[in-house]
Amino acid sequence: MIKVQHLRKLYHITFLLGIMYVQPVFSQVTETTEPLLVDLKKSKIITRFTPPKGYFWMKEQPGSFGEYLVNFPLHPPGFPVRDYRMVPVKTQDRHVALLKIDVGDKDLQQCADAWMRLYAEYLWSQKRFDEIGFEFTSGQFFAWKDYKKGIRTKESKKKVSFYDSGVVNESYTAFRDYLNIIFLYAGTISLDREAVPVTQNSDIKTGDFIIRPGSPGHAVVIMGIAANKAGKRLYLLAESFMPAQDIHILKNTAHPELSPWYELDVNAPKTVTAKYTFSPTSIKRFRALK
């Protein structure tokens, strides 16, 4: 009888110890796997995507590129990613939303071009026309202020030169034609060259991009940042791809419990996104924004 009582006491002690050690584990799992909130009725990035529990949207500077991006309009839910011919692409399970911006009717606006398009549209919306300009992969610089005055490009033996067409045009249609020239002759190599490294996680900003220069390379845009009280951050990412297609907010397929939010680390040996692995991780900022 005494042995049975001892056994019962030992069982209760073991059970209580088990609860003490197991309880935190279950609490942690419950917290990190709580369904993330997405309000499909909302039409802007900052209103459609609610940060995970304990996180809040980081405030963007009024009038900044970051503010422009987090307030970017989205297509209604269910829109497929379409290419430049308006044909849905084959892969439709890697995105959560589409930015409400055209891709053009040519196979030009791809990965790095998506960032250049968004930045150029931001400057246009701010009427900062003289700041719009990008380098070609060749190193030549081409500004909107020159294009609107009639400067055009011509290509001979794979070399690009400029000439004065005498055609002056300041319209938005002409601006889109100018951007098509940028998309044709610029890319990840030139964008990488026009950018400066972000070396600290605390310095990552909305509007920065993850990039791997090359032919082909790839780039994704940081569209918004959420943080918690401890200073930990999460990020929304967007991209275009090949062929030229709608700019879309990426799912986090590697960590679906966080999706569509991503963790980023400037020192990480690699960053895995829904459709591309950046190795090494290279987060950069356009030099005009530094």
* CB of 286 closer than 8 Å to CB of 200: no
Residues in the chain: 290
CA atoms of 168 and 147, how far apart (whole Å): 8
Residue 42 has what pLDDT?
79
* CB of 71 closer than 8 Å to CB of 45: yes
Residue 221 DSSP label: E
The string of DSSP codes covering 86-113 is SPBPS--SSEEEEBS----SSTT--HHH
Please list the residues that pair with 283 across neighbouring strands: 210
Output the CA–CA distances (angstroms, integers) from residue 231 to 100, 227, 234, in the order listed: 31, 6, 10
The string of DSSP codes covering 248-284 is EEEP-SS-TTTTT-B---TT-S-EE-SS-EESS--EE
Residue 233 DSSP label: E
Question: CB-based burial of residue 198 (10 Å sphere; 0-12 exposed, 13-18 middle, 19+ buried)?
Answer: buried
Residue 209 has what pLDDT?
98
**Successive 10-residue mean pLDDT values, the chain, 290 residues:** 40 36 29 52 91 96 98 95 97 96 97 98 98 98 98 94 97 98 98 98 98 96 97 98 97 96 98 97 94
Residue 38 has what pLDDT?
65
Residue 129 DSSP label: G
Reading the block at residue 137, the tokens are 């992969």
Residue 21 has what pLDDT?
33
Query: Which residue in 78, 72, 36 sits closest to 222, CA to CA?
Result: 72
- pTM for the model: 0.86
Q: Pairing between strand 218-228 and 141-143?
A: unpaired
- Report the chain's C-alpha Rg in angstroms: 24
Kindly report the number of other CB atoms within 10 A of residue 184's CB atom. 16
CB proximity list for 124: less than 8 A, separation 6 or greater: 132, 172, 175
Residue 290 has what pLDDT?
73
CA atoms of 31 and 170, how far apart (whole Å): 53
